[in-house]
Structures are given as C-alpha cells and as structure tokens.
Amino acid sequence: MLSIHSDLVSRRHLLTIGGLGLFGLSLSTSGHAKPTASHTAAGFGRARSLIFLYLQGSPSHIDTWDPKPDAPAEYRGEFAPIATTAPGMMLSEVLPRMAHQAHRFTLVRSLGVKPRGLTNHGAAIYMLMTGYDPSNFTPTGLSVPPSREDLPSVGAIVARFRPTDRGAFANVALCGPVREGSVTGVGQFAGILGGAYNPYQMYDDPTQSLRLDSLTLPSDVTLGRLQARIDLRSSLTGQTRFGQADFDGYYRQAFSLLESARAARAFQLDQESVPTREQYGMTKFGQSCLLARRLVERGSRFVQVNWPSGSDTEPAAGPDGSWDTHRNNFPMLRDWRCPVFDRAAAALLDDLAQRGLLDSTLVVAVGEFGRSPRIGAPTTNNVGPGGRDHWPSCYTCLLAGGGVPGGRVYGASDRFGAYPERQPVHPYDLLATLYHALGIDAATEYRDHLNRPRRLVEHGGVIAGLF
C-alpha cells in the first residue's frame, strides 16, 4: 500500500481511497527562482541529480582524505598516505579503491564551522542539512525532535525548486534514518515548506529482498478505477478548502508513480547482475549506493544515502558500525568503516561514469564534521585510547560529477589538519554550491509560515572555484 509519511519520521498518516494509501511523496509543484546573473555562472544547472552520501557520526578527515605524514605521531596516526590517479593528491592507505577514482572527484579540505552551543553532533547536522543555525536546540547544541517549525532540508529544497518528471521521486532517503542520540530525523524533513516535500524513506535492508507494497496497487484496484476515484473526489471537494490543492497533489503524484512503474523498478535490485552487486559490496551502505544509482537512472532528483549507524553511537565491529570513533579509531577504520565505504563509493563513481551518468549526477560525501587532530586527548567528550574527538573547525568533503572537474584539491588545512589554511569553506557555501549545480539560484527566497522571506541558506555563497 502507498502511505504518507508526515513531517515526523516516527508518525505515519494513512489516507485511503478505496484501499489505496499514499506514501511520503515529494511533489513536483512549481516554484522557480527569477533568473539572475548567477544563471550564467560556471557550473549552473550542470547537474540533473544529486546523490548525497551522508557519513553520519563523522569520519576522521586526517585518517581518510587529508593525511598528515609530516605531523608528529600523536597527530598523523597509524595510516600511511598513498598516491592516487590525481597528480599530487594523497589519500590514506585505507581508501585504495577511491585512490583509483581520484581523477573523478575533487576534495575540499578546508570545510569548517562553529556549531551553535558545544561541538555536539545535533547542531552540526542541522546546519549541514538545512543551511541554517538551529534556533530551537538546547544551549549546548543537543537536538530536539523534528517539527513543522524546522527549516527545510536540502532534499526538500531540491524537491521544491527542481521538480521531477512525472513518475519519478524528487527526494529519497536510503539505508537508515539520521539519528543523534535519542533523536531521529534531525534536519531531514521539509518543515515549514510542508510535508509534500518530505523524502520517500526506504530504510529496509537492501541486502535482502525489499518490500514494494507501497509502490504497487492492491489486486482489486486498477489504474482506471483509481483515476475515477481521484476525479470523483476532486469534483466533490473542489479546490477551495485550505490545503485542498496540496492534498490533491499527493494523489496526482501517487498515481503518476503507480502509472509509470519506474519508481518500483528502481528498487528491484535482483535485476542487477551478481558481479555488479558484489562490486558495491553486499552491505547496507553498498547496496544503498547501488539503489541510488538506479534511482537517478530513473529520474530521481535527490537521493540521500545515510550511513546506517547514527551519531553518538558507540563504535563497534561490523559493516554497519559508527564513524563516531571516540576510541579505537584505527582498528575500526582499518577493518570495517573504510573498507565498506571505499568499496561502495568507488563502485558508485565508476558505475556512474561507465553508464554516462556522472556528468549529470553530482555526488557528495561528507560527515557533519571531522575529528580531532590530536589522538586520545582528554576532553569533555569522553575520548578514550586511540580515539579522536568531534572537530568541526576543519574537515573534508568530496564532490564528483555534475559539472565539478575531478582530480583536484580545493583549499588546504594546516600541518595538523586542525584549521583551514587556504580557501576556507563554510557548510552553507557547500549547500549553496549544490543548489547552483542543480540549477537552483542560491539567492532564491521563499516565504515561511509567518510570510517572512527566507533564503535557501542563512549566509554564504557558491564556491565558484570548484567549476
């Protein structure tokens, strides 16, 4: 059955038309920015789709993307740097497959932010996902449950201002919900834009057969019968009641998804060959990256693949464990986190390129912050032996495709990986750049529920040097 997810991840509102429900749809209604000079700037609109690999919990930038071999041992860590296919770009030895894909991506090594409150995950997640400082979090930056008062997520903005073709999802979330402590869904929903732009959430384990009940009609309902019921409902209720037009939009979108069947086919991973599935790795994250490729191949605009383990989760052995390595950073990254990510992300870039999709698909990989340069330093965040603490002051993100040339490094951190040394970038600059690549003017404004103008990002602008 097709059902509607409301603004909150834990609440399901089931609305039926003779047995058909509607499930968490991102509508493709209008809302374009007025043309400005930025529309002719380099890279504008080069990307048709965006795949956002969100590494919740935050990997250590020094032990992955930005090795510091000349730093003292208590900073540089246990991993050696290795050469890549991009001249002059070194990666950590735990990313050998990504090293072979380096000619396809750019690293921004000067990303940094000062979150509101203490350096907790919640505030940093909200800032990364919405482009705004949280106004309703605790003074220490701890998360509160999502609400209709939240600013919209990046996926919701994309769904609002870059509508998809009929029969395709605009905003999809895969692999696992975003969690920070006991709070689920930080910065993930449409908030004041309205539930029509919430993501379609598929958090079932894609290494197993996925249930597609929500994308198929009941056996006793045909498309013609469903269309007749929708038409009858519209004629009886009219378009004058508050919210009626938006509500009917759910039905139109649901019908288009059922009619085209493209959406359901995207989730049929058994259509992929065994070698292809193994190339991505038979893990939740790996198969979710393969799902992301299948979704953009079928017209989806925004697909967010969340690392399956949330922030503030104790790191443990296994393919789905946390990046939040307050202790045992090196064995966790060497044996589990990096092999899973390295295999899946490298397969995704290579697969997109081989299929001719990378030029039109922007791929981003980033956590909410980095991890502390000094290993095992005693802090208020309970860092243990061999661990690294939260570090929002400087970290790295990866961008590939969608008009961003590969084989380059933008910006630089200092010799310890502690602070940006050249070309500092704020997360809001990153979001403005993603919107720009998708053909959404970063200066666009919309009205909130109090009719106040809101920018897509609180401040900052496009990183022109990436294009």
Query: Whole-angstrom Cα distance, residue 86 to residue 408?
Result: 7
Q: How far apart are alpha carbons 224 and 394 in whole angstroms? A: 56
- Domains in the chain, please, with CATH? 1-30+215-266 (no CATH), 31-210+271-466 (3.40.720.10)
Q: Which residues contact 37 (CB under 8 A, 6 or more apart)?
A: none
pLDDT digits (tens, 9 = 90+) for 343-391: 999 999 999 999 999 999 999 999 999 999 999 876 656 788 899 999 9
88: left (phi over 0), alpha (psi -120 to 50) or beta: left
Highest mean pLDDT among 6-10, 243-247, 256-260, 424-428: 424-428
> 106 has which bridge partners?
399, 408
pLDDT digits (tens, 9 = 90+) for 250-297: 555 555 555 557 678 899 999 999 999 999 999 999 999 999 999 999
Share of the chain above pLDDT 90, in %: 69
Tell me the pTM.
Answer: 0.88
**Token output for 55:** 């590494």
Determine the Cα–Cα distance for residues 323 and 336; give it in Å rounded to an integer: 10
User: How many Cα neighbours within 13 Å face the side chain of 63?
Assistant: 31
β-strands 4-5, 12-13 pairing: antiparallel
Question: Given pLDDT bands bounded at 50, 70 and 90, which one contains residue 92?
Answer: very high
**Do the Cβ atoms of 309 and 55 come closer than 8 Å?**
no
What's the rounded Cα separation, in Å, for the pair 188 and 166? 24
